[in-house]
Amino acid sequence: MHVGIIMDGNGRWAIKRGLPRLMGHKRGANRVKDIVKASTELGVTTLTLYAFSTENWKRAAHEVEGLMKLFRGYLQNNFIDLNEKNIKVNFLGDPTPLAADLREQMKKLEELTKDNTLITLNIAINYGGRDDLVRAARKIVDKVQDGSLTVGDITEQTISDHLDTANQADPDLIIRTAGELRMSNFMTWQSAYSELAFVDKSWPEFTPRIYAEVIADYRRRTRQFGAVIPKSAEIGTKV
């Protein structure tokens, strides 16, 4: 089971408590470890966390700087722990604008954990669903130009194979916290048939108990993928 989470509401959580927005982001970073652990207990095999979007660069410079500092600290503090817990880490998005030391840490962590099997943790940083598609299109065009691929060979699978999530199943469920009812450019291609869950609680308030309730609700749903399932087959169907 692949779950994607749009971790929203950190700043608003802090403002409501009279705290700087960055304190909310810090609390949100601490929540990640709880949700990764809960995922392994709930049968989630791939977890994708939307950490920083391509649009987040538009935020105030001090907030962006603070977010990057938190991300750097998360990598440093959890580098060994993630590997020891058998967690495979992948980074989604274009790393080019990130600081060189961050890119190096990310590369080392992916290499260190590449053979781990308990759960795959995708961290989407400087990620956008449209940007993912643009970069995939460029890779495909390059192959057409060098003759290793023809235009007639291009299928939906070809596009999937050139996205950041190549060789991974599409998300079964996408959760957004903090009550907003939009996808915010998250996994645009991959989420075509994902189930959605919008939770009123902000990300710092998104406890493993709430997470388990959302997963339980998902498992009561019948997924049709555009087909019509006979009434007699709906009860208890897990597709």
Active site residues: 8, 56
Q: So where are the chain's domains?
A: 2-234
pTM of the model: 0.93
Q: Under 8 Å CB-to-CB from 199, ≥6 apart: which residues?
A: 175, 176, 177, 178, 179, 206, 210, 214
Residue 116 is classified by DSSP as -
Q: What is the rounded CA–CA span in Å between residue 200 and residue 39?
A: 20
CATH class, domain 2-234, is alpha beta
| Sequential pLDDT tens for the chain (239 residues) | 999 999 999 999 999 999 999 999 999 999 999 999 999 999 999 999 999 999 999 999 999 999 999 999 999 999 999 999 999 999 999 999 999 999 999 999 999 999 999 999 999 999 999 999 999 999 999 999 999 999 999 999 999 999 999 999 999 999 999 999 999 999 999 999 999 999 999 999 999 999 999 999 999 999 888 776 665 555 444 44
**Residue 94: closest CA among 124, 58, 138:** 124
